[in-house]
Amino acid sequence: MLKNPSIKSASPHLTSPEQNQNIWAGGGILTATVHVQPELNSQRADNVQFRLDGKKVDEAQTGLSYTFDNLDRDSHILALSVVDK
């Protein structure tokens, strides 16, 4: 339970790439961009966690984009969540 109920949970939305977008033209490099509403809350130490094919890609971060390098040419599932520390 949140200590301050007036602080609403953040909800992330992937803005790029679009669903089913062909990304191979970039040679396996993809930058994913996220919009979070309401904005990340620094009082609660909100961070964005990116996952590719079910695996964490790095530590959760305050940045709203992540660049993936050397993606295999295949279908992938990109998921994200907002976490607090």
Contact 68, 76 (CB under 8 A): no
Q: Quick one: pLDDT at residue 26?
A: 64
Task: Return the CATH architecture of domain 11-83.
Answer: Sandwich (2.60)
Q: Quick one: pLDDT at residue 2?
A: 43
Confidence of residue 7 (pLDDT cuts 50, 70, 90): low
- What confidence tens digit (pLDDT) does each residue in 17-56 have? 888 877 766 678 889 999 999 988 888 889 999 999 999 9
Question: What does pTM read for this prediction?
Answer: 0.80
Contact 36, 64 (CB under 8 A): yes
- Compute the mean pLDDT over every residue in the chain, rounded to the nearest whole number: 84
Alpha carbons 21 and 2: distance in angstroms, whole number? 37
Q: Quick one: pLDDT at residue 25?
A: 64
Q: Quick one: pLDDT at residue 1?
A: 39
Contact 66, 49 (CB under 8 A): no
